[in-house]
Each structure stands twice: as C-alpha cells, then as structure tokens.
Amino acid sequence: MTMQTIARETTSIASGRPARTYLMCPPTHFDVQYAINPWMDPATPVDRDRTMAEWESLRATYVSLGHSVHLLDPVDGLPDMVFAANGATVVGGMVMGARFRHPERAFEADAHRQWFEGHGYRRFTPATYVNEGEGDYVYAYRAMVAGHGFRTDPAAHNELHDAFGLPVVSVQLVDPRFYHLDTALCVIDSFTAAYYPGAFDEDGLLKLKTLFPELIEATEQDALAFGLNAVSDGRHVVIPHDAIRLRAALTERGYDVIPVEMTELRKAGGGPKCCTLELRP
C-alpha cells in the first residue's frame, strides 16, 4: 500500500464515508464457564451489563469513525462468540474459515460460515487444520503474519497462502499469556506495527523486524493490558484505555488514539481486536 492509498483512506474517514467494514457479535451469552487460556477463571464473576456496555461502546466508536459494523447473531451455549475475530479471516472478499483448537468453541466456526454464506460470500475456504482466524492471522498489507505455538497449527499456514495468495510470515509465540498473535502484534499501517518482543522467539523477532520498517515496542505492562489487541484503520487506533505507555507512543507518532474500556471482556482473554473481524473487500 502506498502513501497515496493511506491518504485516500484518511480522506474517506474524514468525509464520513465508511472506510472499513467489521463483523461483531453482541456478548449476549458472554461468560467465563471454562479455562482455555491463562486469563480465564470460571470462579471470577462476570458483570453482564458492564460487558454489554463495553461492547456497545466499542461498536459505537467504529460507527463514529465512519466504519460499517455488521452483526453476527449470538448463539446460546457459545459464550466466547463475542470474540468474532477468531471465526474467520477475510481478504479481498475471500474467506478462510476457522477450526478451533478447543471443543468448547468448535461450533463458532459453523456460525461464522453460515453468516458468510448468507451474506453473499461465494469464495469460502474451509479449514483442514486448526486455525483460529484473525486471532493468529494478522493482515499486514503485503503479507499475512501467521502465529503458532498455542492455538493455530503451523500446517494451516499453507492453507492460508493458498486461500489468499499472499506471502505468509510464520512466527512462533512462546509466552502462554499471549496465546494468540493478536495479543502480541498490532499492525498500525502498511509501514508500522506495535509488538511485545517477549511473546516471540528469536526467529519471529527477526522476521517482524524485516517485514515492518517501523516497530513500536510495547512494555510488558501494556501488553498485559491487551494494548496490542487494538484496531487501527491507519489513522485512528482503538486501544484499551489502560495501555498507557503504548497510547503515548502512538500519539507521539501522530496517530489519533481512542481509548476504550475492556475490563470485563479481558476476563476471557479478549480486547478490541478479538471482538472485531475485518471484512476486507
């Protein structure tokens, strides 16, 4: 993507025309009923009203920026469906389906597939190997960064390449607190990404430094605040409010940083990006 393309995107946002299209799922049935990542503790109570308020504030933020938000109907018995980013990957109007590692989330993949089939997406690639959608697949404009180590099977990365025809940069996650790639890496624009070095092995760090001309290093504190589970449209960065130093670093570089509250959703290991699947045309 060129600087002129980025400028056109910025103009589109400023003029009120939707620049991005997202799929989200209301947290109607959100709860922490099981533990499949280090953040989840079924003994910790969840405030449903506060969770819905956090989610609605996030949705309203996107709309206020001129983005479009489509809704996926929540399914009773699937408390993690609010994390819509995990259910698929969409690039160029083509969809790569998900296949979840844990049986507790398996039926979410079917719900996503049905939504895409019902909304005119004709090029849908089902998953053979485990991949958890944009949880472990990060679109980096000229390539896809694909994580593995805790959820996604590295063999799935070949399917990713076949689905979209983009180069795939495979990186290994080594810290279980950052069990998905989108908790440790956020692409800000076509030149810039933010990351937490402690989440990656040495080979992965080298690959990231080669791919991105500018890398913003997040502190462990900001990474644990899910500051890297942010959503950027190239100009605005929607980020958890308590990622203080990363917010400052992005602001210093000229980005419009928009803090949001994600405290309840974090109890299940999620933040803004987890709740947001981008539908790239």
pLDDT for position 3:
30
Tell whether pTM > 0.95: no
Is there a catalytic annotation at residue 180?
yes
pLDDT of residue 19: 87
Residue 220 pLDDT > 90, yes or no? yes
Q: What is the largest CA-CA distance in the chain?
A: 51
- Give the mean pLDDT of the chain: 94
**Domain residue limits, the chain:** 18-278
Mean pLDDT of 159-185: 98
CB 218 within 8 A of CB 196: yes
- CA distances to 19, 100, 139, 159, 272 from 225, rounded to whole Å, are 27, 24, 22, 32, 11
Per-residue pLDDT tens over the stretch 227-245:
999 999 999 999 999 999 9
Residue for token pair 């819905």: 52
**Alpha-helical segments (H) within 119-168:** 156-164
Q: Is the pLDDT of residue 104 over 90?
A: yes
- Residue among 25, 186, 274, 275 flagged as catalytic: 274
Model pLDDT for residues 22-72, shown as the tens digit of each residue: 999 999 999 999 999 999 999 999 999 999 999 999 999 999 999 999 999
Residue 115 pLDDT exceeds 50: yes
Q: pLDDT at residue 92 above 90?
A: yes
Provide the pLDDT for residue 111.
Answer: 98
CATH of domain 18-278: 3.75.10.10
Q: 112, 180, 186, 275: which one is catalytic? A: 180
Q: Is 29 a catalytic residue?
A: no
pLDDT tens by residue, 6-21: 333 433 444 444 489 9
- Across residues 144-168, what is the average pLDDT? 98
* pLDDT value for 10: 39
- What's the mean pLDDT in 156-181? 98
**How far apart (Å, rounded) are the C-alpha atoms in residues 250 and 194?**
9
Confidence of residue 1 (pLDDT cuts 50, 70, 90): very low
176-212: burial string, b at 16+ Cβ within 10 Å, e else? ebbbbbbbbbbbbbbebbbbbbbbbeeebbebbeebb
- Please tell me the predicted confidence (pLDDT) of residue 16: 45
